[in-house]
Amino acid sequence: NEGALWGARFATGPSPELAALSRSTHFDWDLALYDIAGSHAHAKALAAAGYLTADEEAAMHAGLDTLARGIVDGTLLPGPNDEDVHGALEQALIVTVGPELGGKLRAGRSRNDQIATLVRMYLLDHSRTVARDILRVVDALVAQAEAHPEAIMPGRTHLQHAQPVLLAHHLQAHAWPLVRDLERFRDWSARAAVSPYGGGALAGSTLGLDPQLIARELGMDRPAENSLDGTSARDVVAEFAFITAMIAVDISRFAEEIILWNTREFGFVTLDDGYSTGSSIMPQKKNPDIAELARGKAGRLIGNLTGLLSTLKGLPLAYNRDLQEDKEPVFDSVRTLELVLPAFAGMVATLRFDTARMAQLAPQGFSLATDVAEWLVKRGVPFRDAHEISGSLVKLCEQRGLELDQVTDEMLASVSSHLSPDVRHVLTIEGSVASRDGVGGTAPVRVAEQRAELISRVQAA
Ligand code: ARG
């Protein structure tokens, strides 16, 4: 078992089948630079505790720097016999600085506390790149809202026409969940920035190494309070998987609407040519593939979360090899979002809205019936009665094939003596949205205020 991290107590090396099953370099090599950072910090702790002379420490850092350059330029890669990133890098260090010095670095640490720390470092870094990509989507939504401050569309519940709303209000409603996702990352990072390094295999080490020093060097807030927990807990990884799945679901809900809006039946949006695709057989086609891929990939991120939780659920303390299965799902979720979010942001930024069509459809389907009922309430009619009166007016319109704003004074009077002709003042979509002027409502003045609040929350996140 030449060059491996273990072997002396074995009569033979690992079988090829075991080696194939055990190997993780094809995915954990993504952690190589974090492993090097951990080794730099660990070398400092060894030197501080008197296990490395100043010269040895300097040679160790220089050797690790050489490895880092090799990782970055692609000349250093794991070999076919390396089990994992940790073993591969120890081997490379030994080749670089010699077996005497290279063999000293492993003292007082285990791959268990290493990997638990490295995955946190990876996730903290990528939470920042994913957050930047979310910002691009939020920026695109805010820009579209700003470009259409007064446009009115049919607001829906149950996918049925419900009440008219501002397009900007609707777009901003898709931005808020993304703002909360940014805030989730911020809250999560306080739990993630804790370093298990120094926990060893499970119980800590006898060498008196300073875990505070290592935590500080790695940009973490503090060392883990409990070495068993630090080396074997993965709730921080699962929480990250949840946040990424939530982001994907939030994006997917908007994607679904863009797909609907882009149909001939809705006709609310036109996609930019650069952000849509064609068909290999139907020459006329222009498809919303970005939105569909975003919607589809949400399923994949949900799978990554549930797969990870399933891996964790029966594990006794402390480290078990099952925990090696924590990385691929979150690496995949990160890579997927890093592909989806920029494309989605570009598609949103370049959407063209048919605001005339939206405005034309907004009053249809009796979407101003609530306005009639509330108009009656303002005139002292109890809401239960007002609801009945407005409902009867809808019924009459439906029987005659009319919209609410097409009824005559006689028809109004025939439904209720309360329905005087000036009810018509509330039977416009502009009047309807403008009058919903409470906090969080769809009146243009409130929606503009809301946008300012949205922007300041994004800046604070
Ligand atoms: N590759 C492992 C992981 O990803 C870390 C190595 C721990 N191996 C061990 N036999 N204790 O979790």
Q: What CATH number is given to the structural domain containing 414?
A: 1.10.40.30
Same domain, 308 and 397: no
Tokens describing residue 204: 């800590």
User: How many angstroms separate the alpha carbon of residue 24 from the centre of ligand 1?
Assistant: 9
In a domain, 460, yes or no: no
Last residue of a domain, one of 340, 360, 380: 360
Pocket test for ligand 1, best of 84, 89, 113, 122 (most atoms within 8 A of CB): 84
Would you say the CB of residue 126 lies under 6 angstroms from ligand 1? no
Confidence of residue 280 (pLDDT cuts 50, 70, 90): confident
Same domain, 126 and 31: no
* Structural domain count, the chain: 3
Q: At residue 70, does pLDDT exceed 90? A: yes
Q: Which residue has the higher pLDDT, 255 or 7?
A: 255
Q: At residue 3, does pLDDT exceed 80? A: no
Same domain, 310 and 409: no
Determine the pLDDT at residue 126. Answer: 98
Alpha carbon distance 118, 38 (integer Å): 8
Q: At residue 348, does pLDDT exceed 80? A: yes
In a domain, 34, yes or no: yes
Same domain, 335 and 368: no
What separation, in Å, do the N-terminal and C-terminal C-alpha atoms of the chain show? 50
In a domain, 216, yes or no: no
For position 164, which CATH number holds? 1.20.200.10
User: How many angstroms separate the alpha carbon of residue 124 from the centre of ligand 1?
Assistant: 20
In a domain, 32, yes or no: yes
Mean pLDDT on 409-417 = 95
pLDDT tens by residue, 143-202? 999 999 999 999 999 999 999 999 999 999 999 999 999 999 999 999 999 999 999 999
In a domain, 5, yes or no: no
Same domain, 295 and 313: yes
167-192 and 444-460 helices, crossing angle to 10°: 20
Amino acid letter at 31? L
Q: List, as one string, the DSSP characters of 173-231.
A: HHHHHHHHHHHHHHHHHHHHSEE-TT-TTTT--SS---HHHHHHHTT-SEE-S-HHHHH
Q: If we measure between CA atoms, which residue out of 268, 65, 282 comes closest to residue 153? A: 268
Instruction: Give the single-character DSSP code of 316.
Output: P
Domain ranges, residue 405: 361-446
In a domain, 452, yes or no: no
Whole-number mean pLDDT of the chain?
96
Atom of ligand 1 nearest to the CA of 116: 12
pLDDT tens by residue, 22-47? 999 999 999 999 999 999 999 999 99
For 353, the 3-state DSSP assignment is strand
Alpha carbon distance 141, 289 (integer Å): 19
Phi, psi of 277 (to 5 degrees): -125, 165
Last residue of a domain, one of 318, 343, 360: 360
Would you say the CB of residue 83 lies under 6 angstroms from ligand 1? no
Beta-carbon contacts of 65 under 8 Å, excluding residues fewer than 6 positions away, are: none
Beta bridge partners of 269: 353
Same domain, 258 and 276: yes
- The residues assigned a catalytic role are 158, 279
Beta-carbon contacts of 212 under 8 Å, excluding residues fewer than 6 positions away, are: 222, 223
For position 34, which CATH number holds? 1.10.275.10
Same domain, 183 and 226: yes
Last residue of a domain, one of 64, 90, 107: 107
Q: List, as one string, the DSSP characters of 135-183.
A: HHHHHHHHHHHHH-SS-EEEEEETTEEEEEEEHHHHHHHHHHHHHHHHH
CA 213 to the chain's CA centroid: 32
Q: At residue 287, does pLDDT exceed 80? A: yes
Same domain, 169 and 103: no
Residues above pLDDT 70, as percent of the chain: 100
Determine the pLDDT at residue 7. Answer: 87
Instruction: Give the single-character DSSP code of 352.
Output: E
In a domain, 4, yes or no: no
Alpha carbon distance 353, 269 (integer Å): 5
Determine the pLDDT at residue 28. Answer: 98
Same domain, 60 and 125: no
Q: Other C-beta atoms within 10 Å of 132: how many?
A: 13
Pocket test for ligand 1, best of 23, 25, 110, 115 (most atoms within 8 A of CB): 115
Determine the pLDDT at residue 215. Answer: 98
Determine the pLDDT at residue 282. Answer: 85
Tokens describing residue 56: 């040895």
Confidence of residue 285 (pLDDT cuts 50, 70, 90): confident
Same domain, 321 and 370: no
Same domain, 160 and 199: yes
Residues above pLDDT 90, as percent of the chain: 94
Q: How far is CA 362 from CA 160, 165, 338, 428, 429, in A?
A: 11, 8, 36, 10, 7
Same domain, 142 and 286: yes
Q: If we measure between CA atoms, which residue out of 230, 236, 241, 239 comes closest to residue 317? A: 230
In a domain, 6, yes or no: no
pLDDT tens by residue, 12-26? 999 999 999 999 999
Instruction: Give the single-character DSSP code of 438.
Output: S
43, 60 Cβ separation under 8 angstroms: yes
Q: At residue 425, does pLDDT exceed 90? A: no
Amino acid letter at 446? R
